[in-house]
Amino acid sequence: MADSAFKDMTRHSRLKVGTFLVEFNTPGIGQILKASGCDFAFVDMEHSGFTVGDVKQILRYMQAADLPVIVRPPSKEYHHAARVLDIGASAVMFPMIGSPEEVKRLLNFTKYPPKGGRGVALQIAHDRYAPGPVMKKLSDANLNTAFCALIETQEGVENAAAIAAMKDVDLIWIGHFDLSADMGIAGQFDHPKFKAAIRKVVAACKKHDKSLGRLVPEAKVGSALFKRGFDFICHSGDVWMLQTTMQAGADKLRATCKGGRKRKGR
């Protein structure tokens, strides 16, 4: 069954720092992130090449490092939700959440009867293959599985307060690039319309005492957002951190290592 580690993090407003995985699936990734100070990881299936099998492996790597994980399935279809949950995701973030009615439908996928319609398969990856009382397993999974609502459309912003008011929504997340694109101002995060949308979502989370998250390119941006009420700060991602660090190192080496001579005979 899903453990309560991620869900517990949504129950307080202290800073939680994570990062985004869209490219690298290696046995050491959980230990690397844990040793680097990560509190959680965000594993993406919407924009990556990760298969269900890949994510199943990643979840075991994270489990070994005791690092909670959000998984974003590639769609809002039941078969994607069910498989992600059955391989052990304890926090699920569905893309493009627009309305309370949609949230209700998706929550039904994540909860076992009598709270929902999630199909039952026990003693597999999600409950660590362990035997145990059936009703307790279902009850614990319903209690511990976290639901993350990804707001990345104007419809989602307009319904943010109603979504945040829902009991089983644990975390609101703003997909800033998609939201700006849906508003017709792609990438213009200083645009008055975009800023107004963010204020509306922040106000909804504060009113209903819900956690709020976003991916940020650098610590400075994350610090400013934390002061506004964001407590889940996803610092960059695997591809971009490698590119940024490699580029900075290469540029510094080229700037400071001048000279050299042609070797004889060559």
Q: Is pLDDT above 80 for 2?
A: no
The neighbour count for residue 227, using CB atoms within 10 Å, is 8
The CATH H-level (homologous superfamily) assignment of domain 5-256 is Phosphoenolpyruvate-binding domains (3.20.20.60)
Reading the block at residue 148, the tokens are 């993350």
What confidence tens digit (pLDDT) does each residue in 197-213 have? 999 999 999 999 999 99
Whole-angstrom CA distances from 139 to 1, 63, 134, 142, 143 are: 9, 21, 9, 5, 6
Nearest 5 degrees, angle CA 136-CA 171-CA 125?
40
Of the candidates 33, 34, 5, the one whose C-alpha atom is nearest the C-alpha of residue 21 is: 33
Under 8 Å between Cβ of 152 and 72 = no
DSSP β-bridge partners for residue 211: 171
Residue 87 near residue 55, CB atoms below 8 Å: yes
* pLDDT of amino acid 264: 80
Average pLDDT of the chain to the nearest whole number: 96
pLDDT confidence tier of residue 262, bands split at 50, 70 and 90: confident
The greatest distance separating any two alpha carbons of the chain, rounded to the nearest whole angstrom, comes to: 81
Q: Is 215 helix (H, G, I), strand (E, B) or coil?
A: strand
pLDDT digits (tens, 9 = 90+) for 117-167: 999 999 999 999 999 999 999 999 999 999 999 999 999 999 999 999 999
**pLDDT bucket at 263, cuts 50 / 70 / 90:** confident
Selecting among 12, 47, 79, 80, the annotated active-site residue is: 47
- Tell me, yes or no, if 47 is annotated catalytic: yes
Question: Tens digits of per-residue pLDDT, 56-77?
Answer: 999 999 999 999 999 999 999 9
Q: What pLDDT digit, counting tens, does each position of 163-185 carry?
A: 999 999 999 999 999 999 999 99
Contact 157, 166 (CB under 8 A): no
Write down the pLDDT at residue 259: 86
208 vs 158: CA distance, rounded Å: 15
Where do the domains of the chain lie?
5-256
- Phi and psi at residue 128, to the nearest 5°: 55, 30
Answer positive or negative: Cα dihedral of 89, 91, 96, 102: positive
